[in-house]
A and B are shown apart, each in its own frame.
Chain A
Amino acid sequence: MMEALKVEGVEYIFGIPGGANLPVYDAVHGADFTHIHARHEQGAGHMAEGYAKASGRVGVTFATSGPGATNLVTPIADAQMDSVPTVFITGQVRTDLIGTDGFQEADITGITYPIVKHSLMVTEASQIPEYVHEAFQIASTGRPGPVLIDVPQDLGRAEIDYEPNTKPVELAGYKPSVEGNINQIKIAAKALASATRPVIYAGGGVINAEASEELRELCLVDDLPVTCTLMGLGSFPAPNEQWLGMLGMHGTRAANYAMDEADLIVAVGARFDDRITGKLSEFAPNAKFIHIDIDPAEISKNVAAHIPIVGDAKAVLTALTSEYRALQPDGTRLAEWWGRISEWRKEYPLTYKDSKDSTIKPQAMIESLNRATNGEAIVTSDVGQHQMWVAQYYDFPQPRRWINSGGLGTMGVGLPFAIGAKIACPQETVVCVTGDGSLIMTVQELATAVSNDVPVKVLLMNNGHYGMVRQWQELFWDSKHVAIEMGESPDWVKLADAFGCAAARVDDKADLDQAISDTLAEEGPALLDVRVDPTENCYPMIPAGAAARDMVG
C-alpha cells in the first residue's frame, strides 16, 4: 500500500490509528509521506478535503474500523456533495470475523454506498495496490469525489509482490467525457452571439477544471456579465466590472435579477442547486440554457437544458471561446443589458448599517479582513451567517482561495479545512472565519494545529448564537427562538490558551483592524475572538422556495 501511495505522489496523510489499521500504521513508519495525526477522524477527513480543495490534489485519510470508520461518514458525505477528490482508507476486522459482529466491526462500505463516488472492499491482499491506483484515478478524474478502500486487518499485514504501476488503470465501467461535442459548441457560440441579455453562471466545476483563465477569455470576447455560485467564487476575479457578485439565496440583487431577466444563461460547472433556483417554476423564466458539465447526470436534472454540452469545462470553454470569437459578435447589442445591470448595481449594492456605538458589525469584520490580507489569503469558513458574509464581503481574485462546505453545509469544517489548506500551501496566509456554534464542533483540532506547527489563523465571529438559525426563527418561525444560544461558554481565549494557541479578544470596532493584523502577524496558530452584534441578519435573501425577484432585505 505504501509503495502504491508513493507512486500516486502522496505527500501527506491525515488520520488516526487503531487495532484494525495497525498493519497500515506499522508501514507508515519510514514511509515517504508525512502523517498528520488529527484528534478526531472527522477532523482528519476534513483536513484531507481542505488539502484537496486548496491544491487540487487527492486528499488521503486513514482511520481504523468501527468507530474510526463511522467518524468518517460526515467528511465522506461532504466530499461527495462538493465533488472533492479524496481517498479514505479504513481498517476492517479480520476476514474470518467479518459478519460476526466482531469487535469494532462496522460495515463501512455498506454504510457509505449512498455517499461515495465508489468504494472498494479488499478481499485478497494482492488487490491492495491495484485498488489504491483505481481509487486515485476515480477520485481525481471526471467529476471528482470520495473513494473508500476498506482493508481487513489480516490482509493489511499479508506479504505480496508489487511492481510499481504508473499506467492509468483500465476500468470498463468508467469513461468520463472530456471534449465537448463540437457541433453543440458551435450552436452554443451562435446562441451566445444572438443573445441580448446573456449571463454566465459559473460554479465549482470551473475551479475543478482549472478553467478560470478560459472563463475570463470567453467573457472578455465582448464583455459578458458573469456571476458565480458559492462554490465558484474565485473562478472569475473579484472585484471586476463584469462580475455581478454571487447569485442565489444570499447573492446580490444584480446577479439574481440578471438571471431572472436573462434571455440566455450559460451554466459552466454549476448544478442548479435549490439555493440558486429558488422556486423552480419561476426560475429564469425568459432564459434558454446552455449547460456545460462533465457529469451527464447533472444536465437537465433540475432545469432542462436547450444546449447540453458534456465535457470538461477547460476543454469546452477553450473551444467555445474560439468559436464565439470567430463569429465576431457585435458587442453593442449588450449595451442596453449593461445599462439595466448598472441600475441594479447602483440601486442595490451590498450594504449594511454600521453601528453608532463601538459595536462590531459582522460585515465590518470581513471587510477588515479583506483589507488586512488584500484579498490574498486562503479563507475557509464554517456554516452559517459568517459563511455568507465572507462570500459577500471578501473579494476572491483567484480560484482555490475560498474553501467551504456548500452542498452538505457541514458545521465544523472550517478549522480542519484551514489546517489541510495550510499544509497544502505553506506559503499562503490561511484564515478560518468561523462561528461560535461551528467552531465548538471540531475545536479539538487546535491541538493538531499546535502540535504539528500549522500556523492557521482562526477569526471567530462570535455572536453568542447559532446566528443563521436565529435569523430563520426570527423571519419564518415568528421569532420563537429555541436552542440557539451559545452563551458565555466556553471562554474562547482561555480555551485556545489551554491548547497552546495564541489568543485575543476584541469587542470595540476601533480596535478591530489592529486586532486582526496582530492575529495575522502571530507566528504560530492564533485565534481572535471577535464579539459582533448578535442581532444582525444576513441580507439580501431569497426566502426558501421563493423566486429571485422576490428577494428581501
Chain B
Amino acid sequence: MDSGAPNLTELDQLAAETGSLTGRKHLLSLTVENKPGVLARIAGLFSRRGFNIDTLAVGPTEDPNFSRMTITIDGAKHPIDQVTKQLNKLINVVKLRDMEPRETTAREMALFKVSAPVESRHEIMQFAEIFRGRVVDVSRKSMTVEVTGPADKIEAFERMVRPHGLIEMVRTGEVALGRSPADS
C-alpha cells in the first residue's frame, strides 16, 4: 500500500475541505511589490468580493522593492481561505502569511486625546503608567497619551479612559512579525 494514499474503500470516508469560517481574528502579512496601484488593487479586491478590512497598515521593508501590508480581518464573517487565495492571485502580491497567533509578535500604536481637568489628571497619568504609555501632549483641559501594544491592550486602555471623556482617538492598525525560534 502506498503510504500517501489511504486504502479508500468507501466514499463515506472522505471529508469535505473545511475552514470556511474560523471564528477568530486573522492577521495577514503581505509582501507586495512596490509598484503604483498595488494598494488600489488590494483594497478593490476586498470591496469587490464583499470582504471587510478591520485594519490595514502599510510601510516599507528592509528591501526597497517591496512593501509590507498587515491586514486584520474577522474570520467569523469571512472565509479566510478564499480571502488568502484571492489575494495570492494578485501578481503584485509576492508573499502572504496568515500569521499563527501564538508564533507572532503583533503591535499597534494609538494616540488618545483625553479630557483631563486637574482633578482627573493624576488618574489618567496612572493609567498611562500601568499601560506603559507616554504622555505626549498636555494642555489645560486635555492630555494626549501614546500607547503601544497588541490590539487588546489598546482596547483595554480605551475602556479605562473612555469614562473620563475621550475627545479623539487614532490607531495605526497592527503590524506583525513572526517570532524567531527560541534557539536562534
Query: Which one of B14, B85, B88, B93 lies within 8 Å of A306 (CB-CB)?
Result: B14
Asked whether, in the complex, the Cβ of B88 is within 8 Å of the Cβ of A183, the reply is no
Q: Which residue of A lies closest to B2 (CB)?
A: A186
Give the residues in chain A near B11, CB-CB below 8 Å.
191, 194-195, 263-264, 288
Give residues 7-61 of B contacting A (CB, 8 Å).
7-11, 14-18, 20, 32-33, 36-37, 40-41, 44-45, 48
Nearest CB of B to A323, in Å: 9
- A297 interface residue (CB < 8 Å to B): yes
How far is A138 from B91 in the complex, measured between Cα atoms in Å?
A: 9
Nearest CB of B to A444, in Å: 32
- B81 interface residue (CB < 8 Å to A): yes
Nearest CB of B to A136, in Å: 13
How far is A301 from B90 in the complex, measured between Cα atoms in Å?
A: 17
- A40 interface residue (CB < 8 Å to B): no
Give the residues in chain A near B85, CB-CB below 8 Å.
296-297
Contact with A along B76-98 (1 / 0, CB 8 A): 00000110011011111111000
Nearest CB of B to A522, in Å: 45
How far is A102 from B173 in the complex, measured between Cα atoms in Å?
A: 37
Asked whether, in the complex, the Cβ of A113 is within 8 Å of the Cβ of B44, the reply is yes
Give residues 72-115 of A contacting B (CB, 8 Å).
109-110, 113-114
Q: Which residue of A lies closest to B41 (CB)?
A: A113
How far is A385 from B39 in the complex, measured between Cα atoms in Å?
A: 42
Give residues 127-173 of B contacting A (CB, 8 Å).
none
- B181 interface residue (CB < 8 Å to A): no
Contact with B along A179-214 (1 / 0, CB 8 A): 000110011001100110000000000000000000
Asked whether, in the complex, the Cβ of A121 is within 8 Å of the Cβ of B37, the reply is yes
Q: How large is the interface on B (under 10, 10 to 19, 20 to 34, 35 or more residues)?
A: 35 or more
- B64 interface residue (CB < 8 Å to A): no
- A465 interface residue (CB < 8 Å to B): no
Asked whether, in the complex, the Cβ of B82 is within 8 Å of the Cβ of A304, the reply is no
Give the residues in chain B near A171, CB-CB below 8 Å.
91
Give the residues in chain B near A66, CB-CB below 8 Å.
none
How far is A191 from B11 in the complex, measured between Cα atoms in Å?
A: 6
Asked whether, in the complex, the Cβ of A187 is within 8 Å of the Cβ of B88, the reply is no
Nearest CB of B to A508, in Å: 50
Asked whether, in the complex, the Cβ of B82 is within 8 Å of the Cβ of A297, the reply is yes
Q: Which residue of A lies closest to B18 (CB)?
A: A304
How far is A263 from B20 in the complex, measured between Cα atoms in Å?
A: 23
Asked whether, in the complex, the Cβ of A187 is within 8 Å of the Cβ of B8, the reply is yes
Query: Which one of A117, A118, A121, A304 lies within 8 Å of B17 (CB-CB)?
Result: A304
Asked whether, in the complex, the Cβ of B8 is within 8 Å of the Cβ of A295, the reply is no
- A477 interface residue (CB < 8 Å to B): no
Asked whether, in the complex, the Cβ of B91 is within 8 Å of the Cβ of A110, the reply is no
- A30 interface residue (CB < 8 Å to B): no
- A308 interface residue (CB < 8 Å to B): yes
Nearest CB of A to B5, in Å: 4
Give the residues in chain A near B92, CB-CB below 8 Å.
173
Asked whether, in the complex, the Cβ of A305 is within 8 Å of the Cβ of B37, the reply is no
- A300 interface residue (CB < 8 Å to B): yes
Q: Which residue of A lies closest to B87 (CB)?
A: A297
Query: Which one of A114, A300, A307 lies within 8 Å of B44 (CB-CB)?
Result: A114
Chain B CB within 10 Å, residue with most, of A118, A289, A296, A297: A297
Chain B CB within 10 Å, residue with most, of A171, A300, A306: A300
Asked whether, in the complex, the Cβ of B15 is within 8 Å of the Cβ of A306, the reply is yes
How far is A182 from B81 in the complex, measured between Cα atoms in Å?
A: 22
Nearest CB of A to B121, in Å: 48
Q: Which residue of A lies closest to B82 (CB)?
A: A301
Asked whether, in the complex, the Cβ of A297 is within 8 Å of the Cβ of B2, the reply is no
How far is A385 from B74 in the complex, measured between Cα atoms in Å?
A: 43
Asked whether, in the complex, the Cβ of B89 is within 8 Å of the Cβ of A114, the reply is no
Asked whether, in the complex, the Cβ of B5 is within 8 Å of the Cβ of A191, the reply is no
Asked whether, in the complex, the Cβ of A123 is within 8 Å of the Cβ of B36, the reply is yes
How far is A191 from B16 in the complex, measured between Cα atoms in Å?
A: 13
How far is A295 from B16 in the complex, measured between Cα atoms in Å?
A: 18
Asked whether, in the complex, the Cβ of B89 is within 8 Å of the Cβ of A297, the reply is yes
How far is A138 from B94 in the complex, measured between Cα atoms in Å?
A: 15
Asked whether, in the complex, the Cβ of A297 is within 8 Å of the Cβ of B86, the reply is yes
Give the residues in chain B near A300, CB-CB below 8 Å.
16-17, 20, 81
Nearest CB of A to B108, in Å: 27
Asked whether, in the complex, the Cβ of B48 is within 8 Å of the Cβ of A194, the reply is no
Query: Which one of A172, A289, A307 lies within 8 Å of B94 (CB-CB)?
Result: A172
Q: Which residue of B lies closest to A121 (CB)?
A: B36
Give residues 121-177 of A contacting B (CB, 8 Å).
121, 123, 138, 171-174
Nearest CB of B to A111, in Å: 11
Asked whether, in the complex, the Cβ of A110 is within 8 Å of the Cβ of B40, the reply is yes
Give the residues in chain B near A194, CB-CB below 8 Å.
8-11
Nearest CB of B to A297, in Å: 4
Nearest CB of B to A451, in Å: 38
Give the residues in chain A near B48, CB-CB below 8 Å.
114
Query: Which one of B4, B20, B45 lies within 8 Å of A186 (CB-CB)?
Result: B4
How far is A117 from B90 in the complex, measured between Cα atoms in Å?
A: 8
Give the residues in chain A near B44, CB-CB below 8 Å.
113-114
How far is A541 from B44 in the complex, measured between Cα atoms in Å?
A: 35
Q: Which residue of B lies closest to A304 (CB)?
A: B16
How far is A191 from B12 in the complex, measured between Cα atoms in Å?
A: 10
Q: Which residue of B lies closest to A123 (CB)?
A: B36
Q: A114-B48, A173-B32, A264-B11 are in contact. List 20 more A-B contacts (CB 8 A).
A: A110-B40, A113-B40, A113-B41, A113-B44, A117-B91, A119-B37, A123-B36, A138-B91, A182-B4, A183-B4, A186-B4, A186-B5, A187-B5, A191-B8, A191-B14, A194-B10, A288-B16, A297-B86, A305-B16, A305-B17
Interface residues of chain A, those whose CB is within 8 Å of chain B, are 109-110, 113-114, 117-119, 121, 123, 138, 171-174, 182-183, 186-187, 190-191, 194-195, 263-264, 288-289, 295-297, 299-301, 304-308
The 4 closest A-B pairs by CB, nearest first: A183-B4, A186-B5, A297-B85, A304-B16
CB-defined A-B contacts under 8 Å, sample of 27: A113-B41, A114-B44, A114-B45, A114-B48, A117-B91, A121-B36, A173-B32, A173-B93, A183-B5, A186-B4, A186-B5, A187-B5, A187-B8, A191-B11, A191-B14, A194-B10, A195-B11, A288-B14, A296-B85, A297-B86, A297-B88, A301-B82, A304-B16, A305-B16, A306-B14, A306-B17, A307-B14
Interface residues of chain B, those whose CB is within 8 Å of chain A, are 2, 4-11, 14-18, 20, 32-33, 36-37, 40-41, 44-45, 48, 81-82, 85-86, 88-95
